A and B are shown apart, each in its own frame.
Chain A
């Protein structure tokens, strides 16, 4: 009896094994003719205009309240009224000018021409801390909203100039207002100025400011810490509190400022900005903030004398796992645990790569370096990535003249400049067409040659791709004239969600689209089915045999 049951069971096992072996797999071999192409035509309804901008008059050169503001012909230039306000001081410009910005009246206060050279030497600067794309208990959306590229809204923290009014555009549009954006704005002061940099911690977690590379005493005049390091210098600045850092920088150069609380989180969440000390010159009124970095529309006297233009280029990156807690939770205890105890930077990978706070294709709107032939342009570059930046310029070899604010004894001319994390380089972009410094006019790419940096979460083109664009390659809206791939899909909000392909409007879609799936191999289906049936039959027979034996 038991022997018969054993054979039944053995038969079932063999039949099931053979059925499994012959069962068609997830992929099927095609015959002589490959399957046809599935015509996938995604909707492109959610595509933005290449250049959406409501103030084209801001692009031209102009003088506001006596402040000369250089032309910035690209799509989205800086607000010239804001430039004028931070050059003169927010307490000195007229109310109509200040009202065209969101700056608080005490954001930048300039006083006392101590050396009698025609410019103020005591500068009060106030910063706040803002969270972009944070969660809300009031629904499934992020606020204030900030897109780094179409459809991409990573969580970011920034230092921001002290503002007034709403963080959002208005009561209906919950996107961050124009001034509230990444990166934390470059700050400019003059060599020898007495600078009071006040951090008003408007965020729900503690922060500090460390003036990285900027000449500053370890303690303030009153003995309080001035280095911004919670471990050694001072206590963390808690929500609702303020602290003033006092400096009188003796050396010019391109430096940094960043939060020194949990730098593996806070600094890399975006609490880092460029801090530029300009050479002391007479009548040197500086653009204290350069919102969104990029072109400096009111340059220092020294810069005007030596160069034709100046740009700030701030590279940084974001990690999805690092910012996930601020989008998943509202309770700061859950955010703190998620960031400080659950997140581990040694296991992390950066996902988004930004040039001046945005990723391609938004970099085409306001992070272009727009040049004319035969110019010398100063590029101040900061590497805010946690990895080495290999900055490559197509069509040019730029010359490094200063590193970390120290002039180089021997300037280095290269087409890839390496910058260690937190390092700064001052580069000269020379547009004389000599086959070395410039290969001639065009819309030339510039990007980090660590290839992941030219993607957004692994999908390219994206990341920190920027352009050096010669003026004749700029259209009337300040958008570069592109003659390569169709840029429409890049401006669709579903492109970086991998729902709209690069070739969405290509006539050659048949090369890139999905191959139609094939039906399973008929012989395998039959064999597998037979063995499955056999197993089932043996099971029934076994059951009947067992019943009979009862």
Chain B
């Protein structure tokens, strides 16, 4: 069955390939779909992996101060894997699953994109390069990335973690919130004060002992 599927890929995808990996209708858009062409350095497709990604307001509610999010912020993928993304938009507005940093020889502008125009879903595949690297995934609608719709794909464990991933990593430019002193803060301050006094007193005692 798996062999049959592999043989059918080119036939099934012919119309798509005729448009250079782009397809678009009222409901969705896919750019740079690539289920067949191996990125430089890959000898063969190492395997198939499928992920389902949900996007929308409701997935952000578990993160305070975040408005839009995917249901997951990080995926691990092996090198040269053909990744099939089933992208489900749970909102009434557009959302995107846009990957950056891919090799430009295979992916124009280094991007792979699925955009779903409103409530609905779309599926598309692309082959990841062989190198250990972390790829940015985001929604490039104005201020969606900035308000939480950001994630990463780590190939071979990735070379880093990206900043500002909801619940996972710190922002490069974090917000500053009002400060409120609680009991613990006051206790720490008093203890620190006492520590400072002890240091002075101890220093004087030590100096005196050494002088004697």
B142 and A130 contacting across the interface, CB-CB below 8 Å: yes
Let me know if A308 is at the binding interface, CB within 8 A: no
Q: Which residue of A lies closest to B92 (CB)?
A: A242
| Interface contact A165-B57, CB-CB below 8 Å | no
- Measured between beta carbons, the chain B residues less than 8 angstroms from A203 are 142-143
Closest to A136 in B: B146
Place the interface of chain B in its size category. 35 or more
In the assembled complex, the Cα of A238 lies from the Cα of B143 at a distance in Å of 15
CB pair B163 A137 closer than 8 Å: yes
- B156-193 CB mask vs A (1 if < 8 Å, else 0) is 00000001100000011111010000000000000000
Tell me, yes or no, whether A13 is within 8 Å of chain B by CB: no
Q: Are B92 and A241 in contact (CB under 8 A)?
A: yes
A167 to B138, CA, bound (A): 12
Across the interface, which residues of A come within 8 angstroms of B164, CB to CB?
137-138
Say yes or no for A134: interface residue by CB 8 A criterion. Answer: yes
The answer on a CB contact under 8 Å between B146 and A330 is yes
Is A333 an interface position by the 8 A CB rule? yes
Q: How many A-B residue pairs have CB under 8 A?
A: 123
* Cross-chain contact A144 with B142 (CB below 8 angstroms): yes
Contact A332 B171 (CB under 8 A): no
- Is B210 part of the binding interface, using a Cβ–Cβ cutoff of 8 Å? no
- The reply to whether A138 and B93 form a contact with Cβ atoms under 8 Å apart is no
The interface residues of chain A, by DSSP majority, are classed as loop
- Measured CB to CB, the closest approach of chain B to A244, in angstroms, equals 11
For the complex, is A212 an interface residue (Cβ under 8 Å from B)?
Answer: no
Contacts A95-B24, A201-B93, A202-B141 given; does A138 touch B171 at CB 8 Å: yes
Given the complex of chains A and B, what is the CA–CA distance between A139 and B67 in angstroms?
19
Whether the Cβ atoms of B142 and A138 lie closer than 8 Å is: no
Would B91 and A240 count as touching, CB distance under 8 A? yes
Q: A139-B172, A330-B175, A334-B175 are in contact. Are A204 and B143 (CB under 8 A)?
A: yes
A238 and B92 alpha carbons, distance in the complex (Å): 11
The stretch that binds B, out of A168-176, A182-190, A504-512, is A168-176
Q: Please give, as numbers and ranges, the residues of chain A lying within 8 Å of B100 by CB-CB distance.
A: 171
- Closest B residue by C-beta to A201: B93
A369 within 8 A of B: no
- Closest B-chain residue to A180, C-beta based? B142
Task: State the CA gap A64–B92 with chains docked (Å).
Answer: 33
Interface residue A409 (Cβ < 8 Å from any Cβ of B): no
C-alpha spacing A144/B142, complex, angstroms: 7
> Quick one: which of A124-162 are within 8 Å of B by CB?
128, 130-132, 134-140, 143-144, 162
Q: Is A106 an interface residue (CB 8 A)?
A: yes
Contact across chains for B94 and A200 when beta carbons are under 8 A apart = yes
**Contact between B94 and A162 (Cβ–Cβ < 8 Å)?**
yes
Q: Mostly helix, strand, loop or mixed at chain B's interface?
A: loop
B152: interface (CB < 8 Å): no
Query: How many whole Å from B104's CB to the nearest CB in chain A?
Result: 10
Hey, what's the 0/1 contact readout for B111-128 against A, CB within 8 Å counting as 1? 101010110000000000
Complex contact B140–A166 (CB within 8 A)? yes
A331 and B171 alpha carbons, distance in the complex (Å): 12
User: How close is A317's CB to chain B, nearest CB, in angstroms?
Assistant: 22
Cβ-based interface call for A104 (8 A): yes
Q: Mark each residue of chain B from 25 to 36: 1 if its CB lies under 8 Å from any CB of chain A, else 0.
A: 110010100000
Contacts of A105 in B (CB 8 A): 24-26, 117
- Which residues of A in the span 97-136 have a Cβ within 8 Å of any Cβ on B? 104-106, 128, 130-132, 134-136
Minimum C-beta distance from B151 to chain A (A): 14
Indicate whether B147 reaches chain A with its CB closer than 8 angstroms. Answer: yes
Q: Does A91 contact B (CB under 8 A)?
A: yes
Quote the shortest CB–CB distance from A130 to chain B (angstroms).
4
Compute how far the CA of A144 lies from the CA of B141 in the bound complex, rounded to whole angstroms: 9
CB neighbours of A331 from chain B (8 A): 65, 175, 177
> Complex: how many Å from CA A510 to CA B137?
56
Also in contact, A240 and B93, with CB within 8 A (given A131-B143, A204-B68): yes
Contact with A along B64-83 (1 / 0, CB 8 A): 01011000000000000000
Say yes or no: A167 contacts B140, CB within 8 Å. yes
If the complex has contacts A134-B146, A137-B163, are A164 and B24 also in contact, measured as CB distance less than 8 A?
Answer: yes
- Interface membership of B110, Cβ < 8 A: yes
Cβ contact within 8 Å between B67 and A104? no
- What residues of A have a CB within 8 angstroms of the CB of B65 in the complex? 330-334
- Minimal beta-carbon separation of B63 from chain A (angstroms): 11
Contact B146 A239 (CB under 8 A): no
Q: Are A170 and B109 in contact (CB under 8 A)?
A: yes
Are the CB atoms of A332 and B94 closer together than 8 Å? no
Question: Of the candidates B26, B98, B115, which one forms a contact with A106 in the assembled complex, judged by CB atoms under 8 Å apart?
Answer: B26
Q: Is the CB of A242 within 8 A of B93?
A: yes
> What residues of chain A lie closer than 8 Å to B98, measured between beta carbons?
166
Q: Does A503 contact B (CB under 8 A)?
A: no
Nearest CB in chain A to that of B175: its residue: A331
Pair B147/A202 contact, Cβ less than 8 Å: no
Q: CA separation between A134 and B65, bound complex, in Å?
A: 16
Question: Which among A139, A176, A334 is the interface contact of B142 at CB below 8 angstroms?
Answer: A176
Is B39's CB within 8 Å of the partner chain A?
no
Residue ranges of B at the interface with A (Cβ–Cβ < 8 Å)? 24-26, 29, 31, 56-57, 65, 67-68, 91-94, 98, 100, 109-111, 113, 115, 117-118, 140-147, 163-164, 171-175, 177
CB<8 Å pairs between A and B, sample of 8: A130-B142, A131-B142, A137-B146, A137-B164, A164-B94, A167-B140, A202-B93, A330-B146
Which positions in A face B, CB cutoff 8 Å? 91, 95, 104-106, 128, 130-132, 134-140, 143-144, 162-168, 170-171, 176, 180, 200-204, 238-242, 329-334
The 7 closest A-B pairs by CB, nearest first: A137-B171, A240-B57, A240-B91, A331-B65, A130-B142, A242-B92, A204-B67
Given contacts A240-B68, A330-B65, 4 further A-B pairs with CB under 8 A are A91-B26, A128-B93, A143-B146, A330-B146
